[in-house]
Amino acid sequence: MTPGVSVLAEVAALPVAAVNWHSFFFVLFAALACGFAVAVVAADNVVRMALYLVLSLGATAGLFFLAGAEFVGAMQLMIYVGGTLVLLVFGVMLTAQEPLVSIKGSGRDRVLAGIVGAALLAVLLQAAFSVRVWREPAAGVVSDPAATPIGMSLVGVRVDEPPAGGPVAAKRPGYLLPFEIVSVHLLVVLVGAAYLARAKRRKTPRAIEVAASVEPPAAVAEHAAIGRSRSAGGSVLTGGRS
């Protein structure tokens, strides 16, 4: 036991002991988030792009947890990663035919995007480090439970900045109305999206069916062109029906 403890004392004397673990995990999650975001831009295969996006947003949820916003972090995992990205991956799977999986952009576009992106990044970084208040962190705060204050702020009771008369006496307008508006908005959007993406009865076969019946990819472009002209005519024909 004693030799083990002395070895551990030697290990403890290393600068490892000075590491701020909150910062260590921040650097880890930030590196993952930024790295996978750049990988999304760099990847050509759309399925891999989707995977990198999932990992990037998962790391962002970890960043939210580290900043103390636990409710927002859990919501990011559930809604963004578990809902929106599953939807995206479904879309990728439905459209991931062989010639479409890796479509490369032109070189000129990339150079232009690179220049604009680098310029914007420089401006944002300079802005981030320019405000003194943003550079000096606090000494460390007791962890506050995150879910109850958000719930209470919906009805206007703000416990994070209690005004003079106590949180209940001095009520502020709550977030309930925007919450209801967003709920109705989501309902309308989903009904609209379901209507937009429904399978329609058509008089002429859709371009996708025409394309699927011919195997070689060289013919796909030709049929896509045919399909476009056909769908232009077809939509006039079926405009009254669908």
Partner 1 sequence: MADFLINTVGLPGWLAWTVTAVVAAALILNVIAGGALVFIWAERKIAGRIQDRLGPTRTGGKFGWLQSLADGIKLLAKEDLMPDGADGMLFRLAPYVSFCASFCAFIALPFAFDFVGQRMNVGVFFVIAVLGLEVFGVILAGYASASKWSLFGAMREAAQVVSYEVPLGMCVVVPVMLAGSMDLVTIAEKQAGWFTNWYLFHDPFTFVIFWVYVTCAVASVNRAPFDLAEAESELVAGFHTEYSGLRWSYFFMAEYGSMFLVSALAAILFMGGWNGPVPIATIVGLSEGTGDTANYFVRLLGMANLLGKATLGVLVMMWIRWTLPRLRIDQVMTTCLKYCTPLAAAMFLGAMLWQVVLPGGLMPRFGRPAGEVREGWLPGPGGGGAPRSLDAGKVAQVKS
Partner 2 sequence: MSAGVVAVVPLLGSLLTEPVSVAHYLVVGAVLFVSGIACMAVKRNALGVLMGIELVLNGANVNFVAFASPYLQAEGSRSLGIDGQVIALFVILLAAAEAAVALAITLNFYNNHATVDVDRADDLKG
Which C-beta is closer to partner 1: that of 8 or that of 221? 8
Q: Which residues contact 85 (CB under 8 A, 6 or more apart)?
A: 50, 53, 54, 57
Which partner from the list partner 1, partner 2, none does 157 bind, CB cut-off 5 to 8 Å by kind?
A: partner 1
Which C-beta is closer to partner 2: that of 7 or that of 117? 117
How big is the CA angle at 115 (ends 110 and 120), to the nearest 5 degrees? Answer: 125
Which partner from the list partner 2, partner 1, none does 168 bind, CB cut-off 5 to 8 Å by kind?
A: partner 1
Cβ–Cβ under 8 Å, residues 189 and 209 = no
Which partner from the list partner 1, partner 2, none does 64 bind, CB cut-off 5 to 8 Å by kind?
A: partner 2
Cβ–Cβ under 8 Å, residues 146 and 167 = no
CA 230 to chain CA centroid, nearest Å: 37
Q: How far is the CB of 10 from partner 2 (least distance, A)?
A: 20
Q: How far is the CB of 5 from partner 2 (least distance, A)?
A: 25
Q: Tell me, what DSSP letter sits at residue 84?
A: I
Where do contacts with partner 1 occur on this chain (CB under 8 A)? 5, 8-9, 11-12, 16-17, 19-22, 45, 47-48, 51, 54, 58, 70-71, 74-75, 77-78, 81-83, 85-86, 89-90, 93, 96, 139-149, 152, 157, 159, 166-168
Going by C-alpha positions, the residue among 58, 52, 55, 59 that lies closest to residue 25 is: 59
Tokens of 104: 């490369």
Q: How far is the CB of 202 from partner 1 (least distance, A)?
A: 24
Which C-beta is closer to partner 1: that of 99 or that of 233? 99
